[in-house]
Amino acid sequence: MPRDTQQQKFLTRRAALLAGGQVLLTGALAARLYQLQVFEKDRYRLMAEENRINLRFLVPPRGRIFDRFGVELANNRQNYRVVIVPEETADITTALNAIGRLIDISDADRHRVLRDAKRKHAFVPVVVRANLSWQEMARIEVAIPELPGVAIEQGLLRNYPYGPNAAHVLGYVAAVSEKELNGDPLLELPDFRIGKAGVEKAQDLKLRGTAGTSQVEVNAYGRAVREIARNDGQPGQDVVLGLDAAMQEYVTKRCSNEQSVACVLLDALTGDILALVSSPSYDPMLFSAGLTQATWQDLSTDPRNPLSNKVIAGLYPPGSTFKPVVALAALEGGAITPDTTISCPGYVELGDATFHCWQHGGHGTLRLHDAIKRSCDVFFYETARRAGIDRLAAMARRFGFGQQLGLDITGERGGLIPDRDWKLTTTGAAWQQGETLNTGIGQGSVLATPLQIATMAARLATGRQIVPHLVRKERLPPGGDRRPPSFAPLGVTPHFVSLVLDGMNAVVNEQGGTAYAARITEPAFSMGGKSGTSQVRRITQYERDHGLRPESEIPWKERDHALFVAFAPVGSPRYVCATVVEHGGIEGGGGSAVAAPIVRDVLLEAQKRDPARRVPQPDSVAQAAPPALPESGGRAPGG
């Protein structure tokens, strides 16, 4: 074959291969273009949109908290803050320095911003400072074009109209701590707060709501141009409490004269907590806006414990307020009868130990009625000895002592009712009869919260297993609760309960009763109750007899606690109030002199306001109580 012919065939073959390759490449390119422009057009359109549109989460408005009549106890108000978005600024430290030339930024805020920028997603704004004044906000807004990644945001700040008055009920909200982060972007938002105590914590998931979103168009420098779309999310649900804001304010004011007080008011039929005051208190707005280290130090080191909810977490020996339980245990067990007489010479001896009555000369011979009325320790020493610790412990637990009541906020403590098993488990030693005697007057190892003492009185007054609670399903309907909750019967003989209630009525309304001076003189509103004094520091009989150290000279932290619990009105109990005045028992006065007047005033005010039925006029209350006794006579100072 000629050489030219062979070259021509070779060139033709190479041209064909080259042409085929070009066709394949062109086809592949066309297919890829078709894939990009047809099959994947939505994906790349979205990617292009994301280059100019930022999707931001919006904090939902937190649900409000109302009292039983619809009064707002917690709501939200506007709040301006300056934030930095880490991914939109070249250097956070430089940005902080620039902001610091416009407004004050503390070193603590600087450290916090740098820390949060590292642990959060880069697209999540980090708050530099919140609660800006109008002037501060305006200075930053003017400088925004020179501050990449910096923005002014308008959010909501949790607001508590009643301030410290309801702090221990409502609790407070605060920023999410690092250990509380669980990957939910909502928890990383700078304006997001979660409940840390009280109702805010217990109902947090209900109050939070669902996050919204905002689509914001930005330019090449990341500056927001306009908001394209917005979904505000779902606001948190509102919560209704059984609390009465007016009574809460009244009780707070009434307790303000004492250094440290716990006071709770119950609706004895429904279990609604109408007022709960632990004084001194704190301002929950301090936590919502951001607590300073100095303020935290002051609150946490105050010996009066303003951060503690003493009504549900304070543990105190119930003292003589425990005696009604002892009486019922002995009556139910047949250890005594209503006519049993016990002689009180002022003391009782057991082995080498001597147990004294608060009345040094003794009370003489007493039956149950007068023993409750005059709060005779010797009578209840002997009553407890006859009943035995097993009966005492079982009856105490039936009335709510020694266990949590299941309150619908956190922080409740169960107290302690000692018995044989507890003693053996904790100390390895057997129970001693002397410990039974101490238990009989609410001393020794017995510990209770003010809420438990109030619950005891509510169960006594109704004969049912009342369980206290704060949260209601709805606001109080006009005319009050027509069908209050049905609680199970207490399971104690009604006749025995009436005997104890009669004795508690005598405590207040009969001459010689330990709280006679604190009685309510208006018959329709009269109360029955029981005073108590619990030792903090043991004062020996020798010290008392020889006046080596009068109680008025004892340091405040070493003085006895003063207690009082009562129900009203006597003929048809509806309200129960228990009060503990920490270290308030001085000069032999005890609960009858210090705590009883507080309870009297609270129960009188509650009956006149009648928050359970919302009947404003006291004239509409039936004349249920016996006529007031004459003014003559005096108060026994016991407790």
* Residues recognised as catalytic: 320
- Nearest of 348, 519, 503, 364 to residue 440 by alpha carbon: 348
CA angle 455, 459, 465 (to 5 degrees): 95
- Nearest of 309, 303, 265 to residue 579 by alpha carbon: 265
Report the amino acid identity of residue 611. Answer: P
Cβ contact 173:167 at 8 Å: no
Give the H/E segment covering residue 420: helix 420-427
277-308 b/e (C-beta count within 10 Å ≥ 16 → b) = bbbbbbbbbbbbbbbeeeeeeebeeeebbbeb
- Nearest of 399, 567, 369 to residue 490 by alpha carbon: 399
The verdict on whether omega for the bond into residue 280 sits within 30 degrees of 0, i.e. cis, is: yes
> Residues near 267 by Cβ (< 8 Å), separated by ≥ 6?
242, 273, 274, 574, 575, 611, 612
Concatenating the DSSP letter of every residue in 198-244 gives: HHHHHTHHHHH-B-EEEEEEE-TT--EEEEEEEE--BPPPPEEES--
Cβ contact 391:329 at 8 Å: yes
- 622: tokens are 């039936």
Give the H/E segment covering residue 41: helix 41-50
Residue found by looking up tokens 């949790």 in the block: 158
* CA–CA distance, 171 with 192 (Å, rounded to integer): 16
Report the amino acid identity of residue 332. Answer: E
> Residues near 287 by Cβ (< 8 Å), separated by ≥ 6?
172, 173, 174, 196
Give the H/E segment covering residue 344: strand 342-344
- 47: tokens are 């990617």
For β-strands 224-231 and 53-58, DSSP reports them as unpaired
- Nearest of 442, 587, 603 to residue 518 by alpha carbon: 603
